[in-house]
Amino acid sequence: MKQLKTLFIAIVMFFGAQVASAQTKVGHIDVSALMTTMPAMKAAETQLTKLRDGYDAEYKKLVAEYQTKRAQYEKEAPTAGDVLNETRSQEMQDFGSRIQKYQDDASKSLQDKSVELQKPLMEKAQAAIQKVARAKGIQYVLDSTVGSGVLLADGTDLLADVKKELGF
């Protein structure tokens, strides 16, 4: 009797889980593909490239100046006095530190600008994803970008509908 009761409970739980899972709709979207195809994202990338090119040009200029001074100081080192060589050595160390600080600051500036440009686009995409999912009665949306942890994405793909919602 006890085994029959346990079997009955197991059957009820199995069918209850089937009914519950049948009512839950899950969709997926490759957020990375969506973001890279957004026209506004292409404009943001162009802006970042222009900024990066400006930083690169200035960095190359600083490195060229450093190399020129270093070559000059190395050439004059045998005839210069110890005090002058020590001063020049300190100057070159300071110059190297300045170049490294410039590179760090430029990198941080680029990263901040990237976040500044991408945040509103991501918010817009997220709002469109939510709107489309709700219109289709989907309760859960998974990011199916490669490497995101989704192993199988056979459910409803929202990418085309979200692109349509965003107007591209």
In the chain, what are the domains? 25-166 (3.30.910)
Residues 143-161 pLDDT 10s: 888 877 766 667 788 888 8
Among candidate residues 97, 127, 106, 93, the one with its CA nearest the CA of residue 58: 106
N-to-C CA span, the chain = 64
DSSP 142: E
Residues 3-31 pLDDT 10s: 655 545 656 566 555 555 557 789 999 99
Among candidate residues 68, 77, 74, the one with its CA nearest the CA of residue 95: 68
Task: Please report, in tens digits, the pLDDT of each residue of the chain (168 residues total).
Answer: 556 555 456 565 665 555 555 577 899 999 999 999 999 999 999 999 999 999 999 999 999 999 999 999 989 888 888 899 999 999 999 999 999 999 999 999 999 999 999 999 999 999 999 999 999 999 999 988 887 776 666 778 888 889 898 888
pLDDT computed for residue 16 by the predictor: 58
pLDDT computed for residue 2 by the predictor: 55
pLDDT computed for residue 155 by the predictor: 76
Q: Which residue has the tokens 């990338």?
A: 45
At position 49, the amino acid (one-letter code) is T
Residues 160 and 168: their CA atoms lie apart, in Å, by: 9
pTM for the whole thing? 0.68
Q: Is 80 helix (H, G, I), strand (E, B) or coil?
A: coil
